[in-house]
Structure 1
Amino acid sequence: MGKLLSMGRSGLRRLMISGLFVVVATGLWYSQEAEYRNRLSWMGVTTWETPSPLNLHRVLRNDGFLVGWSDLRVNPLWASYWLTDDGAARIGDRPGFQRDWRTLWPVTTDSYRGSGYDRGHLAPNYAIAAVHGREAQRQTFLMSNMSPQRPNLNRQLWQRLEEAVMDHFVPRFGTLQVITGPIYADDFLDGVFRRVGFTQVPEAFYKILVVPSESPRVLAFIMPQDVSGNEPLDRFLASVDEIEARTGLDFFPQLPASVAARLEGGISDDGWALQVVARRPGRFQ
């Protein structure tokens, strides 16, 4: 009997030690994960204004960028990344698309085939490669970083905006925080069957640019799917408040209310020199 009690106590100690190890390891992982996410997020990681099944998401960590993945939409709700003017990484050949095994529903590299939609990058290939390196570039080709975009948007207007960000705004300001993602129909039922495979098709896309300084400034865009592609970029200027209202997201949850009211409520391109690039043709046109 004494031997059995001794064995039981020994087993209990081992179980307690194992449990303690799991708790400590989990805490260390969470701390490191939170630190990494915060490094890629000015004024907090994007969250939701009011929790609901439509805007709940998981944060997928990648090299150089984060993705807020929705298992309901089977599509990202946002992607967040930093761009700097001191990037000297080598840009390699264009990688191939890859399935991301972290997504609950299968989104394969052929999921958009024959749909009339492109596999549109949220975190862009060129900019991420130039700033964050080759492995980060490969990860931009994960299907969890794609969203269905019409060709005129993806290959023309959206591509022109991505060029303007990297070739004009980043050199102008040195550092930018970028948050970008899709906008869905107001009525979920209107879009529930509007899908490419499992993936819900957005009706528009947004991009938010922030200069993270003591006096931060913001420039934001909303671009619908039905563009011709050659429109001037400044036609699509929007406020952050409008994007938050249409997505249900809170992009800068740690921003003081007084600053948020000024930064997010209005539309101003003062200091951005947007007119220099608003009508510039894209690299591939």
Structure 2
Amino acid sequence: MGKSLLRFRRGGRRFAVALLFVVVGGGLWEFQERRELQNVVWMGAPTWETLGPTSFYRVLRNDGYIVGWSDVRINPLWVSYQVRAVPDDTRIGSRPGFRPDWRTLWPVGTDSYSGSGYDRGHMAPNYAIAAVHGRSAQIDTFLMSNMSPQRPNLNRQLWQRLEESVMDHFAPRFEYLQVITGPVFPERFMDNVFNRVGLVEVPEAFYKIIVAPHADAPLALAFIMPQDVRGNEPLADYLVTIDEIEARTGLNFFPRLSPELETVLEGELNTQGWALEEVSKRPGRFR
């Protein structure tokens, strides 16, 4: 009886040490993860207004960008990356092939969208990430966890024009830009639960937030573009406030902003400093 008690106590101590190791190690990992996120997401990674099955996400870190991945919607809820101006003659590598991402709970194959009428729409764009962050980052943009179903007129025209404007027009005006982008789903989950391409839920629209993070007076542009566009509409037609995107997505962007700056940056629609009118009606590369 005494020996059994002694073995139990020794086993208990070993378990306690192992548990302490897991807790401390997990805490250090979480601290390092949060610190790393702060280095790549200006004013903090998005948080959820109300935590629930459709708002919870896991952070998937990639070379050049990060993803807030939903295992319920089988979609990125948000994708964050930073860009800066590059020389006009910048060349990138050949277009990589699409790849499944082993980190997603449900498998999304490279052919999951075949025959659906939807494109595999990049959230972190191929060209911008490749030009700024290099070949390895470009390859990571072809992970299926970076895709969301987009109608061709949106993906190949209006959305492409906005991505092109970010790199060719907005980035040269500022030191660097923080971009957060992602899908917009209907307010009621059950209204859209069966609207899927395979396992992937189909969004009703997409948002893009572009911030020039000046220390004294940050500037922001925000857009929501629906799936049913023709593709040749002016970009300015889809301007919204960041507050509107937060209301439509349930996400809280830039949570470390002061209340005073948040009111101005997220609540006001202000295009001053962006010269949006110069590119709003510019034709896209693919027509």
The interval holding the TM-score normalised by the smaller chain is over 0.9
3-state SS, counterpart of residue 166 of structure 2: helix
State how far apart, in whole Å, the 1-side matches of 2:55 and 2:183 are: 12
Match of 1:25 in 2: 25
State how far apart, in whole Å, the 1-side matches of 2:61 and 2:102 are: 13
Match of 2:274 in 1: 272
1:13/1:190 CA distance change after superposition, 3 Å? closer
What does residue range 75-154 of structure 1 map to in structure 2 within 5 Å? 75-85=75-85, 91-154=92-155
Can you list the C-alpha shifts for 1:76-131, whole angstroms capped at 9, x where unaligned? Answer: 11101111236898621111111111111111111100000000000111111111
1:227/1:23 CA distance change after superposition, 3 Å? same
State how far apart, in whole Å, the 2-side matches of 1:26 and 1:206 are: 33
CA contact (8 A) 1:123 1:145 kept: yes
Match of 1:226 in 2: 228
State how far apart, in whole Å, the 2-side matches of 1:271 and 1:26 are: 44
State how far apart, in whole Å, the 1-side matches of 2:52 and 2:244 are: 19
Query: What residue identity is the alignment partner of 2:190?
Result: L
Query: What residue identity is the alignment partner of 2:226?
Result: P
Is residue 284 from structure 1 mapped to residue 286 from structure 2 by the alignment? yes
Shift of 1:8: 7.3
Match of 1:42 in 2: 42
3-state SS, counterpart of residue 163 of structure 2: helix
CA contact (8 A) 1:203 1:224 kept: yes
Is residue 61 from structure 1 mapped to residue 43 from structure 2 by the alignment? no
Q: TM-score, normalised by structure 2?
A: 0.92
Match of 2:262 in 1: 260
Query: What residue identity is the alignment partner of 2:271?
Result: D
Match of 2:70 in 1: 70
Query: What residue identity is the alignment partner of 2:111?
Result: D
CA contact (8 A) 1:74 1:198 kept: yes
Number of residue-to-residue matches in the alignment: 285
Q: TM-score, normalised by structure 1?
A: 0.92
State how far apart, in whole Å, the 2-side matches of 1:79 and 1:125 are: 13
State how far apart, in whole Å, the 1-side matches of 2:104 and 2:217 are: 38
State how far apart, in whole Å, the 2-side matches of 1:243 and 1:215 are: 21
State how far apart, in whole Å, the 2-side matches of 1:171 and 1:269 are: 16
CA contact (8 A) 1:222 1:238 kept: yes
1:8/1:193 CA distance change after superposition, 3 Å? closer
Query: What residue identity is the alignment partner of 1:175?
Result: Y
Match of 2:191 in 1: 190
1:9/1:68 CA distance change after superposition, 3 Å? same
Shift of 1:52: 2.3
Shift of 1:9: 7.3
Match of 1:165 in 2: 166
Match of 1:175 in 2: 176
State how far apart, in whole Å, the 1-side matches of 2:51 and 2:13 are: 41
1:207/1:8 CA distance change after superposition, 3 Å? same
3-state SS, counterpart of residue 123 of structure 1: coil
Which stretch of structure 1 is more off in the superposition, 255-264 or 21-30? 21-30
CA contact (8 A) 1:84 1:175 kept: yes
3-state SS, counterpart of residue 238 of structure 1: coil
Which stretch of structure 1 is more off in the superposition, 48-57 or 99-108? 48-57
What are the ranges of 5 or more consecutive residues in structure 2 without an aligned counterpart?
none
CA contact (8 A) 1:89 1:131 kept: no
3-state SS, counterpart of residue 161 of structure 2: helix
Shift of 1:60: 1.1
1:133/1:89 CA distance change after superposition, 3 Å? farther
1:12/1:159 CA distance change after superposition, 3 Å? same
Can you list the C-alpha shifts for 1:35-76, whole angstroms capped at 9, x where unaligned? Answer: 221112111110111222221111111112111111111111
CA contact (8 A) 2:86 2:131 kept: no
% identical equivalent positions = 65
3-state SS, counterpart of residue 110 of structure 1: coil
Match of 1:241 in 2: 243
CA contact (8 A) 1:219 1:269 kept: yes
Q: CA RMSD in A?
A: 2.2
